[in-house]
A and B are shown apart, each in its own frame.
Chain A
Amino acid sequence: GAVVSQHPSWVICKSGTSVKIECRSLDFQATTMFWYRQFPKQSLMLMATSNEGSKATYEQGVEKDKFLINHASLTLSTLTVTSAHPEDSSFYICSARDPQGLNTEAFFGQGTRLTVV
């Protein structure tokens, strides 16, 4: 199946700093990627839809100025958590669908564990 790679797999940062997470589709082009957040013992919650060459679409309640998304190429989307606070500590996961694929399943990155201290 298609491969989505996410980097870094974990990061620790100080409060007030910004952290960038990368999501790459390795063997296909993705005009759309999705960013999810998962708190411990909870399910994945969609944060935003990343659109190549245009603005991201954010879900209700997600601050677009805090979670900056850039989708500059067909294989790369980035999520920047700005002015991070301890409550932003979470597991962030990206996904994409191979538009050439026959099925409609999503392929997920391995996730990024963010800890803000």
Chain B
Amino acid sequence: SQKIEQNSEALNIQEGKTATLTCNYTNYSPAYLQWYRQDPGRGPVFLLLIRENEKEKRKERLKVTFDTTLKQSLFHITASQPADSATYLCAQAGGTSYGKLTFGQGTILTVHP
């Protein structure tokens, strides 16, 4: 069956460092992957989308890569700040309904001052 997994449940880093989160997929080849941020008690907020033919996508301090050989997407936050502390979710869309998403388990990022 298709799986999308985030292997790290939690990641703790020091302010100013780069946070790197990993998302792996198995048994299928997604046309694109999405990354969301979720704060406690809130719904997810879209951050970035990367397509399979794109190696890298950037938005301000965020960078996403897509390696179809490794079946992996990496999500980077450079110059991290305590305000970046949240749960980060990778997701892939199912079928023809773009809004129908399957999420990874999420990685809780904590940036220490």
Interface residue ranges, A against B (CB under 8 Å): 1, 4, 6, 32-34, 42-46, 49, 91, 93, 95-97, 103-111, 113
Give the total number of A-B pairs whose CB atoms are below 8 A apart: 60
Cβ–Cβ contact A43 & B105, under 8 A: yes
Cβ–Cβ contact B99 & A96, under 8 A: yes
Cβ–Cβ contact B41 & A49, under 8 A: no
**Contact A43 B104, CB 8 Å, known A32-B99, A104-B93:** yes
Number of interface residues of B (CB under 8 A): 21
A-B contact pairs, 13 of them (CB 8 A): A4-B43, A6-B43, A34-B100, A42-B105, A43-B104, A43-B105, A46-B100, A91-B41, A97-B99, A105-B46, A106-B34, A109-B43, A113-B41
Closest to B47 in A: A105
Cβ–Cβ contact B103 & A32, under 8 A: no
Interfacial chain B residues near A96, Cβ < 8 Å: 99
Cβ–Cβ contact B34 & A105, under 8 A: yes
Sample of 18 more A-B contacts, CB < 8 Å, known A43-B89, A49-B97, A95-B99: A1-B46, A4-B43, A32-B99, A34-B97, A43-B106, A44-B89, A44-B103, A46-B102, A49-B100, A95-B43, A103-B49, A104-B49, A104-B98, A105-B49, A106-B34, A106-B98, A108-B45, A111-B42
Interface residue ranges, B against A (CB under 8 Å): 32, 34, 41-46, 49, 89, 93, 97-106
Specify which of B32, B43, B46, B105 is in contact with A111 (CB 8 Å cutoff): B43
A-B interface, 6 closest residue pairs, ranked by CB to CB distance from nearest: A108-B43, A97-B99, A105-B46, A104-B98, A106-B99, A43-B103
Cβ–Cβ contact B106 & A34, under 8 A: no
Specify which of B41, B45, B101 is in contact with A34 (CB 8 Å cutoff): B101
The CA of A113 and the CA of B42, in the complex, are separated in Å by: 10
Question: Interface of chain A, helix or strand or loop or mixed?
Answer: strand
Interfacial chain A residues near B100, Cβ < 8 Å: 34, 46, 49
The CA of A46 and the CA of B99, in the complex, are separated in Å by: 11
